[in-house]
Structure 1
Amino acid sequence: MRFYRQLQPFNIISFDLDDTLYDNRSVIAEAEKQFLCELQRLAALPHLTVESWGQVKRVVAVANPLIMEDVVHWRIVALERLLTQSAVSVGKIDTIISQAMAHFIHWRHQIALSPQTKATLDSLAERYPLAVITNGNVDPKKIGLTQFSLCLRGGEHGRAKPHFDLFAQTAAHFNVRSDQILHVGDNLQADVQGAVQAGCQAVWLNLNSDSLLAHQQSRNLPHVELTNLKQLLLLA
């Protein structure tokens, strides 16, 4: 545990999800694999590859960079573009999109939470209201996380982190000042920079024991650096 700023009393704890409360890399890799296989089947596109799908997403993002802040909408728009370009019957496009998205969301939620993570959140929830502020598309309740009384997702509820929007909404929801929110996340830009610039306090969950100096793109120091989630109990 390392302190970079003086930690003030806080009333709310908010959390990032992906790569903070679980390892997201293997989950998203498998979800993308299963999504692509299902899309190949539904749309009769056996030669569709990861590269060609990625290229379609990039074209959509170049045309509208803000769309990347809503990962669900971005995927849907890219799907519609891909199917249209592939001369899929117009009457089938909506059905294919709906089925492909449902398949992806199913695999996106195949997340194994550690008992320690659940126990830590249970303990914190006895003392503080807990919230989720995420740029991803995971529904906490679908993976067994019922400790949160608020869940805000970038794109659906406002501008994605590091924009201040979701942090400000969290403060308004709980009727507290921004500095009474302690935000916990793994990303020095989205989570730490976003929280600090919004006036909140920030915990950098450094699960990989990275050097802070290796993240020169980050403009703000966290208040505290932790190397495992359970250390939060020492702050609460």
Structure 2
Amino acid sequence: MKFYRTFLPFKVISFDLDDTLYDNREVIRTANREFLSRLQQTSQISDLNEETWQAWKDRVAQQEPVLCEDVTAWRKLAMQRMLEHHGKSAVEIQYISQGVMQHFLEFRHEISVPSKTIAILNLLKQRYRLAAITNGNVTPRRIGLNQFDVVYCGGLQGRAKPHRDLFHRTAEYFGVRPHEILHIGDNLVTDVRGAIQAGCQAGWINLSDKSIREFSDATLLPTMEISDLLQLLDLI
């Protein structure tokens, strides 16, 4: 455990979800493959592939940047715009998009949370109030994580990280000042910069063998750095 800033007493620990509490990489790759496969089957669009789908997502992100902070709404809108472009009727668009999104979210939640992570959260919950602040679309209870008093998702309850909305909303929910929140996450921009700029404390989980000085996006130092969630138990 390394400290880069003055470490202050805190009452709440908030967590990022994807790639902080579990490895999300293969899950999202599989979910995306399943999404595209189901969309190809149901839409019968012959030239649909990863490249054309990404182009539609990029186009919608440029047109509706704030809406796209909700990653589920972003995916839905990109799919609907693409289907409209290919001449699908409103009824067809609704039928296809609902079925494909349901299929995607099923695979999106095929997450095996490590038993160690669950045990750590259970121990921390005995001492601190816990929250989840995510830019993703995973429902914690659906993957066996029921330790959080509140869950805030970017684009739904406020602007996505690194915007301060969800951090301040968490402080309001618990009736604490921002610096009484310790936010834990793997991303130096959305988690570390977002938390620090919101007045919270930030714990960066560094899952690499690199020093923080080797990351170009480390524009703001975290309060602390850990290499394993287990180190958080030293705070109890």
**TM-score, normalised to structure 2's length?**
0.97
1:48 aligns with 2:18: no
Q: Deviations over 1:67-96 (max 9, x none)?
A: 331111111110111111112233211111
**Residue 221 of structure 1 corresponds to which residue in structure 2?**
221
The amino acid that maps onto 1:94 is Q
**Residue 183 of structure 1 corresponds to which residue in structure 2?**
183
**Residue 25 of structure 2 corresponds to which residue in structure 1?**
25
SS at match of 2:66: helix
Once the 2 structures are TM-superposed, how far is the Cα of residue 65 of structure 1 from its aligned partner?
2.2
**Are the aligned partners of 1:4 and 1:224 in contact in 2 as well (CA < 8 Å)?**
yes
**Residue 195 of structure 1 corresponds to which residue in structure 2?**
195
| Structure 1 alignment gaps of length 5 or more | none
1:86-125 alignment runs, 5 A limit: 86-125=86-125
**Residue 128 of structure 1 corresponds to which residue in structure 2?**
128
1:149 aligns with 2:149: yes
1:163 aligns with 2:175: no
SS at match of 1:182: strand
Q: Deviations over 1:174-199 (max 9, x none)?
A: 00011100000000110011101111
The amino acid that maps onto 2:129 is P
Rounded to whole Å, the distance in 2 between the matches of 1:46 and 1:24 is: 30
Rounded to whole Å, the distance in 2 between the matches of 1:172 and 1:210 is: 36
The amino acid that maps onto 1:153 is C
Once the 2 structures are TM-superposed, how far is the Cα of residue 44 of structure 1 from its aligned partner?
1.7
1:34 aligns with 2:34: yes
**Residue 63 of structure 2 corresponds to which residue in structure 1?**
63
Q: Deviations over 1:187-234 (max 9, x none)?
A: 011001110111111100011233211223332111110000110001
Rounded to whole Å, the distance in 1 between the matches of 2:189 and 2:90 is: 41
SS at match of 1:65: coil
Deviates more, 1:89-98 or 1:41-50: 41-50
State the superposition RMSD in angstroms. Answer: 1.1
**Residue 211 of structure 1 corresponds to which residue in structure 2?**
211
| Structure 2 alignment gaps of length 5 or more | none
The amino acid that maps onto 1:148 is F
SS at match of 2:149: strand
Rounded to whole Å, the distance in 2 between the matches of 1:141 and 1:197 is: 29
The amino acid that maps onto 1:6 is T
Name the % identity.
49
Once the 2 structures are TM-superposed, how far is the Cα of residue 46 of structure 1 from its aligned partner?
4.4
SS at match of 1:94: helix
**Residue 76 of structure 2 corresponds to which residue in structure 1?**
76
Q: Deviations over 1:149-193 (max 9, x none)?
A: 100000011000011000000000000011100000000110011
The amino acid that maps onto 1:15 is F
Rounded to whole Å, the distance in 1 between the matches of 2:190 and 2:209 is: 18
**Are the aligned partners of 1:209 and 1:227 in contact in 2 as well (CA < 8 Å)?**
no
**TM-score, normalised to structure 1's length?**
0.97
